[in-house]
Structure 1
Amino acid sequence: MHLHSAILVDDESFTRKGLMKLIDWEACGFRIVGEADNGEDALALIKRVQPDLVITDIRMPVIDGLELIRIATAENIAKPYFIIISGYNDFNYAQQAMRYGVHDFVVKPIDEIEFSGILRHLNDKLRLEQEEQAKSDRLMGGEMIKSLILGEASETSIADWEQRLRLRKADRLYYLFAELNDNHSWQPREEKISNARFKELVQQELMGITEADPSICLHEHRNRIGILLPSSLLASYNGELERFLVAFREALGVHLGKRVFLYAGSPVHSLSDIRESYKAAKEALLYKYVNENTRIVIYDQLQAGKLNYIGFDPAEFNRFMEQMEELQLESVKAVVDKWFYDFRENRYAPEAVKMNIQQCMMGILKTIRSMEGDEQALLTLTPLLGWHDMNLSLGELKRLFTAFIEESQQHISELRREQQKGGIQKIKSYIEVNFSQNMSLKSIAAQFYVNPVYLGQLFKKTYGVYFNEFLLQLRVNEAKKLLRQSCTMRIYEIAEKVGFSNSDYFVTQFEKIEHMTPTEYRNKLL
């Protein structure tokens, strides 16, 4: 628990010691950081320790309590709260002191319960004020960083902030980016975290691992949190930036898992030069996928090798598209595994990864359109269309891309089945219209440019009956119709009419299906 600092000022030592023992200071939110037995020493002490609270008697040698309050207030030596402790006879002095903003007046002998209540009330007030001040400083800090990055900060404002941040001449300054990844609506395992909550966690964990002042400067970029880091905050890590970043990422990981990437720019020696560290941190962003395993990128540790901005090998990409259309899912996944391995190991820049992923997507969508499919039916398309505007780890990008491929192959398979179904329906309709002509499976297959064996299998699979059985049933049904409607047509005329060139063969096939001859069928009707 944060304790506010307080000093005791009284010329009687036993009063000071008694007060220290009487009150449970920590329970009231305070700790005693100094004592003085006169107003002059108290002024020096106030100037040195900048306490939150001064508890003083009025009657003291050299400088009395009233003058102490007046000088400290008028000369702006510090801005503590004052509580006056004195006897009944000094009440008029106390009233005068109230004009200087004295918080309270306590009459001797001190009542423990009453005084503790005053301290607790003041503790609450101080805490709220400090929270509001820290909030205000954070907002001002963000604006300060923005003006420094844009090169718009004046020398006066820079000097003011160097003093506020208590920067020393020996201090180095780093600009960092904290980036939350995989924080999107299609993430099945984690809850989406707001930017405000992420910033709050960054602030909280920075204070936790460095014991930093709450006014540590943060700036909200479009999808990252910028951090102004003085080297003094690395003291617990022997000044080693990498050790600090590892500890920082682990602390954030308690809340966010492995979704946080950290990027550090080069150190600079003054606040006016922080723009250079910011530019280096932005350059470090380009090495994100190269450092997928550690998820920490320090600009000064980047290897000399350049990033790659190359496309896929054309022959390999063509094979990939063939395997997509042939629905060879395992082969396609193997290619994707290789590509994502190359992205990391061959130092692909994020822009190159984006270009190659888009090339694959466009190729797959082109195939779907050529088959008269609806790409909007793909649920996995939307995340990939805008993935480069989100912060995605390479592993999450691969997961989304693989899901898109699997769904696309399933869609292609469905389109192919629909096309096959549509084609066989055309063949069936043709047979139903032209069954009286001389036709066979082979002649139909040739007419529709289909392999006859494949056509026979597809027909049986689609309609549950072989082609020849279907054709025969059509002809027999038509023959029965003619037998019912005409008593004068001869059997051989009906056979010829329905597609049989041999009347004896017609009679045999009719009897096979109807278990009676055409003549018997007609006589039965008569």
Structure 2
Amino acid sequence: MYELLIVDDEANSRNILASCFPWNEQGFHVCAQKDSGREALEYLKEHTVHVILTDISMPDMDGIQLAKAVSELTGSRPIVVFLSAHDNFKYAQNAIRYGVRYYVLKPTSFSELKEIFVTIKMELDLKYNVSPDTDHSHSSDEIIKKVLSYCIENYREGSLSSLAESLFLNSSYLSQMIKLKTSKTFSDLLNEARMKQAALLLKDPDTKIYNISNMIGYVNPNNFARAFKAYWGITPTEYRNHEK
């Protein structure tokens, strides 16, 4: 369970957020509720907190000031999620400035909160090397190694769904993990494997380019040529001539 701190000067809003959303099902535990940014900072000095869900408009120290203070902390800092009744561009600008990437508008919908905290849990799982496997037998780094190996071995007809099934993972979870760990999508990695294999095949002058297109999973040679040029910067023919 990851520790969640809720900060809002309206007691009713805090209580509703803490009790009416199934935090445990999402992998979070509401460790405390505070009514100002200053109280939240004091709490952080003595307790481990992974996520702060904070209102922006508060007396004493508002959410913006709290986010700024959190961004200046040393060591592992909690993720800050802004909660606001106002869709204010200035708030969004300050959010970006202080590293806040999640912004929830009041009244908060169940589906929006769930979507955001599924993503946050994924981020924390990767940060702390926690696998969603029930036996926790594979770290995220090990999973990414398996993903890369899969792409190399199945560049022709590989798919995210078949890969996820082989790893006993949810496809959406695996997709987010790949993006967070490699900054690329599964399609990017598969395409990279295809283009590298195509480059190897082009070194053999006896292998026709249209055959190479089919060998790496392209039915239309023109689509292959466009994809190859987009990746390598030159056409398959130019690449082959360059390698002679």
TM-score (norm 2): 0.51
Q: Is the CA contact (8 Å cut-off) linking 1:40 and 1:62 kept in structure 2?
A: yes
Q: Is the CA contact (8 Å cut-off) linking 2:87 and 2:105 kept in structure 1?
A: no
Query: How big is the shift at 1:56?
Result: 0.3
Residue of structure 2 equivalent to 1:148:
none
Deviation string, structure 1 residues 108-128 (Cα, Å, up to 9, x no partner): 100011111111111112111
Query: How big is the shift at 1:50?
Result: 2.3
Within a 5 Å distance, the mapping from 1:3-402 to structure 2 comes to 3-76=1-74, 78-131=76-129
Which amino acid letter does the alignment assign opposite residue 28 of structure 1? Q
Which amino acid letter does the alignment assign opposite residue 126 of structure 2? L
Which amino acid letter does the alignment assign opposite residue 65 of structure 1? G
Q: Is the CA contact (8 Å cut-off) linking 2:95 and 2:101 kept in structure 1?
A: no
Return the alpha-carbon distance in structure 2 between the equivalents of residues 48 and 91 of structure 1.
Answer: 34
Distance 1:70 1:77, change over 3 A: farther
Larger relative contact order, structure 1 or 2 (CA cutoff 8 Å, min sep 6):
2
Distance 1:63 1:35, change over 3 A: same
TM-score (norm 1): 0.24
Which amino acid letter does the alignment assign opposite residue 50 of structure 1? T
Residue of structure 1 equivalent to 2:192:
none
Q: Is the CA contact (8 Å cut-off) linking 2:7 and 2:54 kept in structure 1?
A: yes
Which amino acid letter does the alignment assign opposite residue 110 of structure 1? T
Distance 1:26 1:68, change over 3 A: same
Distance 1:78 1:72, change over 3 A: farther
Query: How big is the shift at 1:24?
Result: 0.5
Residue of structure 1 equivalent to 2:207:
none
Query: How big is the shift at 1:78?
Result: 5.0
| Unmatched 5+ stretches in structure 2 | 131-138, 141-244
Return the alpha-carbon distance in structure 1 between the equivalents of residues 75 and 61 of structure 2.
Answer: 16
The alignment's C-alpha RMSD in Å is 2.3
Residue of structure 1 equivalent to 2:175:
none
Deviation string, structure 1 residues 157-200 (Cα, Å, up to 9, x no partner): xxxxxxxxxxxxxxxxxxxxxxxxxxxxxxxxxxxxxxxxxxxx
Residue of structure 1 equivalent to 2:161:
none
Which is greater in Rg?
1
Which amino acid letter does the alignment assign opposite residue 109 of structure 1? P
Query: How big is the shift at 1:26?
Result: 0.8
Q: Is the CA contact (8 Å cut-off) linking 1:66 and 1:97 kept in structure 2?
A: yes
Distance 1:108 1:91, change over 3 A: farther
Query: How big is the shift at 1:6?
Result: 0.6
Q: Is the CA contact (8 Å cut-off) linking 1:10 and 1:60 kept in structure 2?
A: yes
| Unmatched 5+ stretches in structure 1 | 137-526
Which amino acid letter does the alignment assign opposite residue 14 of structure 1? N
Percent identity between the two aligned chains: 31
Q: Is the CA contact (8 Å cut-off) linking 1:72 and 1:78 kept in structure 2?
A: no
Deviation string, structure 1 residues 379-402 (Cα, Å, up to 9, x no partner): xxxxxxxxxxxxxxxxxxxxxxxx
Query: How big is the shift at 1:47?
Result: 2.0
Query: How big is the shift at 1:48?
Result: 1.6
Query: How big is the shift at 1:94?
Result: 2.8
Which amino acid letter does the alignment assign opposite residue 82 of structure 1? V
Q: Secondary structure at the match of 1:106?
A: strand
Query: How big is the shift at 1:31?
Result: 0.5
